[in-house]
C-alpha cells in the first residue's frame, strides 16, 4: 500500500459522515492493513478486524483515548482492482487484547474523502451478497 496519500495530507476534500450514537450498520469481518496518521504526523500500520459503513475496528500496538480523531487509509479489494478509502475517524473505545501488547480500537467514521463513501458502500453491499 502506498503511504503517499495519507502522508501528504490535505489533498482530499472530505464530506461529513452521518452522525450516529448507536450501531445501525451491518458489520463484516475483514483482514487488511490500515494506515493511520498519528498526532505527531507519523504514519502507523494497524490491522482491520471488522468494517461497516459507520466505522471500523482495528488492532494496534498502542491505545488511544476515546474522542481522539485520526485520518486513515485502507485499500478494499474488488474483483479487478483495489479502491483506496480515505476517512477521518474518532475513537469510540479501546480495549486490551490478552497479553500480546495489542489493543483493539473501535472507531466511528466522521468524514469521508469524496466518493470514498460510495466505494465503501459498494464493497460492503457485495460482501453482504456473498455472505447473506
Coil vs helix vs strand at 79: coil
Number of domains, the chain:
1
Residue, of 130 and 89, whose pLDDT is higher? 89
> In a 10 Å sphere around its CB, with 0-12 CB exposed, 13-18 middle and 19+ buried, how is residue 41 labelled?
exposed
Domain containing 124 equals: 14-131
Average pLDDT over residues 69-85: 92
- Inside any domain, residue 9: no
**pLDDT 10s digits, 33-62:** 999 999 899 999 999 999 999 999 999 999
- Inside any domain, residue 67: yes
Decide if pLDDT at 72 tops 90.
yes
- Inside any domain, residue 25: yes
Here the CATH number for the domain that contains residue 103 is 2.40.10.220
Q: Give percent of the chain with pLDDT exceeding 90.
A: 62
pTM, to two decimals: 0.81
Amino acid at each position: 500500500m502506498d503511504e503517499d496519500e495519507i502522508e501528504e495530507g490535505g489533498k482530499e476534500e472530505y464530506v461529513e459522515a452521518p452522525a450516529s450514537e448507536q450501531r445501525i450498520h451491518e458489520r463484516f469481518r475483514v483482514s487488511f492493513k490500515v494506515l493511520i496518521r498519528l498526532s505527531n504526523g507519523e504514519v502507523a500500520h494497524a490491522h482491520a478486524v471488522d468494517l461497516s459503513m459507520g466505522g471500523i475496528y482495528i488492532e494496534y500496538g498502542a491505545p488511544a483515548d476515546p474522542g481522539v480523531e485520526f485520518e486513515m487509509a485502507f485499500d478494499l479489494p474488488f474483483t479487478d482492482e483495489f479502491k483506496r478509502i480515505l476517512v477521518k475517524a474518532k475513537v469510540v473505545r479501546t480495549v486490551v487484547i490478552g497479553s500480546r501488547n495489542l489493543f483493539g480500537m473501535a472507531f466511528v467514521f466522521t468524514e469521508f474523502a469524496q466518493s470514498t463513501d460510495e466505494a465503501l458502500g459498494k464493497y460492503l453491499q457485495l460482501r453482504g451478497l456473498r455472505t447473506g
